[in-house]
Structures are given as C-alpha cells and as structure tokens.
Amino acid sequence: MSIIPESAAESGAAVPPPGCPAHAGGAGLTALYGPQAQSDPHGLYEKLRAEHGTVAPVQLEGGVPAWLVLGYRENTEAARSATKFTRDSRTWRGWEEKQIGDDSPLIPILGWRPDVMSVDGEEHQRLRSAVNDCLARFDRHGIRRHVQRYANQLIDAFIESGRADLVEEFADHLPMLVFARLIGLTEDQGPKLLEASVGIVKGGEKAVEYNNYIIGTLRTLTEERRKVPAHDLATWMVQHESGLSDDEVLNHLRMILVAGNETTTSLISSTLRMILTDPRFRASLTGGLMTLPDAVEQMLWDEPPLMVCPARFATHDMQFGGQEIKEGDLLVLGFAAGNMDPEIRPDLDAPMHGNRSHLAFSRGPHECPGQDIGRAITDTGVDVLLSRLPDLQLAVPEEQLSWSSGTWSRHLDVLPVQFAPQRRSEPEQAAAVPAPRTVSQQPVSTPAGGSPGTAAGSAATASAPPLSAAADALAAIAQADAAADAEDRDRRGFWSSLAGIFRRRR
C-alpha cells in the first residue's frame, strides 16, 4: 500500500507557494503530459532546454509543479547526491500544500513505500543488500533459458500466419512472462498484471485501482511464501537475513515487476524497430561491426525506456542548474533529455554502442538493480525472434508508425511485420538453449515499402488476439516449467515428458 502523509488524502486545488516552480520566470508551466508532450516529447525537452537551461519548471498531471532536470551532469548529480536530493517523498511539501488528491494518478508514482527506492542512508543499504543478494541468486543461463522458451512460445502463436504485430504479440508479453516466473506468480495472473503494470506508468483515472490490484496480488504471494517456500524471488526475499517485513517484500516485488516490465517492453520494441527501419543500424549489425548487446546499449542512449524518472526532493534551499530550488521541491530526472545533452553528445549520429555511461538505468545508490536481467531478456528475446524469422520485414512504410507518450515513458503503438509462414517449432527446438550469438550471423531483410493496405490492420486480425495468444503460451509454459522443476528431483524422463506436453498442445 502506498504510504503518504495524512494531509495528502485531502482534496483541494493546488496553490503554488512562493518560490515553487510555478512562479519561475513569472510564466505558466509547461506540461509534461497532454498533446504537446505526447506528439513530440524530445522536441519539448529541447524547447525547455533552450528556454531555461539544464533545469526547467514544469507541471505534472493535475497541475502539480515540479522541476525537470535536463542536463546530463545535473541528472548525474541529482541521482548521486542523497544529501541534496532525497528519494524520501514524505519530505515533499506538496502534501502539506494540498497539491495532490487521494485519487491522483501520481499517488502510485510519488507515494512513499517501504522499498529501496524510497529511502536513503543506512535503511537504503539494508534494503539494497537484500535486493542485490536475492537477484544475484538467479542463474543468468537459467534466465536466458526461460526467455528463449517463452519467446519461442509467443512466436509459435503467429509464425504460421506470416505476419504479426511485434508490439502486441511479442514485446508486450515477453518481459511479464519472465518477471512473473522469476517472482513466483502463476501463469493465469500474467495478462491482468500486464494491464495493471502498464496502467500505473501510463497514469490516468485507473492508476490507483491498478496499483491496488498489484499490491493485493503480491501480498497474497508473500503470505503464501512464508508458509510454503519455493525456488523464486518472493521466497528468497521472505527468507533474507535482513528480516524484511511483508510490506517490504511485496513492495520490492512490485518495484521489480512494474519497473522491470515497463522498461524492458519498451527496450525490446525500440530495438526491433531500429533493426527493421534504420539501414545504418542494420548494416552495423549484419556486417559484424556491432553485436546485439551493443545494439541494445545504443538504444539505451537514443530511446531510454524511462524518459523521465520520478523523483527527487530537495533537502534544503539551493541554486541548482541556474534555478533557485527550495527545500521540499519536487524534481524529476530527464533521462532522455540528459542522454541528448549537447554538452556530452554534440553529434547525435555518432555511435554510442558499447558505452554504458548513459542515464537509462539512473546513477548512484539508486541505480537500477535489475538492469542486467532487462538486458538479458531484450537481447535474448530479439536473438530468438531474428533466428526464427530471418526474412522479417516491416509491413508498412516507416512513416506510418506511431507512438503513445505519457509523462514518464513513450511506447511504440504497433510494429506490423511480415515474413514467410513457417511451421511451429518442434518440442526440442522450443526447449533448446543455444549459446548467445551476434546479429552478424543473422541476416535481416530490408524493410518492405509495401502498400498501406498490407499492414497494421491485417497483422492483428491474421493471428490470435494478443491476450489469448499469451494465455495459451502461458498454459504450455507452466507445464514445461513444472517438468523443468521436476528435473531437479529426478533427471530421468524429462525430455520425454516435455515432448508429451507439446504433443498435447498440437
């Protein structure tokens, strides 16, 4: 449950106090939501940079005033300096100023929670050690095995049709399948958790409802794991020597589920789009000048999954980025704007692959603890897709692609593709775990110019509905996972059992 000061539950009009961002420059605030932000968020960031410099006054949903950090160096400083900028949202004076109501879509984002992202100092170190220790228990090869199995199942749902929407039928589902499995959730919870996770980040009137659903689901899981341990993240957090409470366990699971799914889904979509549409990008891959992990790193520079990251709160009055920041002011970190800062990237066309100094996973003590899992899901999932469909082509002209943007992130709406129809994979192929390969070994066709009519609409109708396909895949995956778990107890009969599972599905 989100925890906020009692006064924040009172509704009321936001009245900006003297010295807050609303009064900066004596002008109205630029909104980080709405039509302008949705149509061209990068253009909006550059406009703010030109008008205000490296830190700009903005407003969030509901007219809530904040500072957007645009500069690379300023983002790094704000992320690293807990003495200047704390993650503890209870210090935000917006609660006392009644700038937010109890039904605000910002509550799931700004509300304080007993997790590693909401505290600093010794308490942060205690919680961070628990998260790091538990995540480190996952075998990286095992994670890639899960990713390959789930990716193959999703591909099998559309491979016979010769066309698909890679956003709805692949990228939207693969990360949630993996994270749900690692956390310890069941297959039938996947579609609803996906909807709720996206709804929280997107915001809107149902954000609080979605957040409550996820909290309730994870509370039940936490209570079950205290009674019946299993081989999953929920169990390890319950059993960790730091003595995490139930609230601490479920809120860390929430953090991993929501943030991990959101960022990884976006990263997969962006990487696939660039491979299919950018000749220079594709040439570097197919020519062996760039590996797939390098390509992912380039996307983390150019299109970070989280464009704007909540939140930091000023611990005292200060001058920062040329602005007068007051104690208790709310700051949001502009990862996308910082990555494009002309002071550190004067030439945006210069390749950045292999360079991990981007802001995509933040910096300092609160740097994303699960970033390597997100990378593994992305490069492994894309590798499987390109291996199975080497003639993959975009099914519409590139200019027909569109995005939906909110305050925090930007999503590709659809990515319709076409390819030669194939038979579904054999059981052994779906369960196999080949060694990771570079994209230079995987040919990628030039995008088809194609007529608009061969495209987006037919891509969705020619194959099973996304949630149905995902549910079907989840059912088969659950059976395959049960067989894999049984292998630890009895090695004999595994492959014959797995083959039987897939024969029943066919």
Cβ count near 492 (within 10 Å): 8
Q: To the nearest 5 percent, what fractions of the chain are helix, strand and coil?
A: 55, 10, 35
C-alpha to C-alpha distance for 469 and 212, rounded to whole angstroms: 26
Q: Is residue 249 exposed (0-12), middle (13-18) or buried (19+ Cβ within 10 Å)?
A: buried
Q: Is 365 exposed, middle or buried (0-12, 13-18, 19+ CB in 10 A)?
A: middle
Strands 64-69 and 416-418: unpaired
pLDDT at 506: 39
What was the pLDDT predicted at 505? 38
pLDDT digits (tens, 9 = 90+) for 465-493: 333 333 444 444 444 444 444 443 443 33
pLDDT tens digits for range 98-125: 898 888 889 888 999 999 999 999 999 9
pLDDT, tens digit, 9 for 90 and up, residues 126-171: 999 999 999 999 988 889 999 999 999 999 999 999 999 999 999 9
Bridge partners (DSSP) listed for residue 253: none
Taking only Cα atoms into account, the Rg of the chain, rounded to an integer number of angstroms, comes to: 23
Residue pLDDT, tens place only, 338-369: 999 999 999 998 888 778 999 999 999 999 99
pLDDT in tens, 243-278: 999 999 999 999 998 888 889 999 999 999 999 998
- What are the structure tokens assigned to 13, written together? 């009009």
| pLDDT tens for each residue of 39-96 | 899 999 999 999 999 999 999 999 999 999 999 999 999 999 999 999 999 999 999 9
Task: Round the average pLDDT of the chain to a whole number and report it.
Answer: 81
Which is it for strands 30-31 and 55-60: parallel, antiparallel or unpaired?
parallel
pLDDT at 410: 87
Q: What is the pTM of this model?
A: 0.77
Residue 450 amino acid letter: G
Angle at 329 between CA 334 and CA 89, to 5 degrees: 85
The pLDDT tens digits for 405-455 are 888 988 899 999 999 999 887 654 444 433 333 333 333 333 333 333 333
Helix pair 121-136, 246-277: axis angle to 10 deg: 60
Of the pLDDT bands very low, low, confident and very high (cuts 50, 70, 90), residue 289 is confident
The residue ranking higher by pLDDT, 402 or 187, is 402
Q: Using alpha carbons, list the distances in angstroms from residue 232 to 186, 503, 506.
A: 12, 28, 30
Mean pLDDT across 378-389: 95
Distances (CA, A) of 72 to 29, 54, 294, 405: 22, 8, 21, 22
Residue 382 is predicted with a pLDDT of 95
How many Cβ atoms are within 10 Å of 35's Cβ, its own excluded? 9
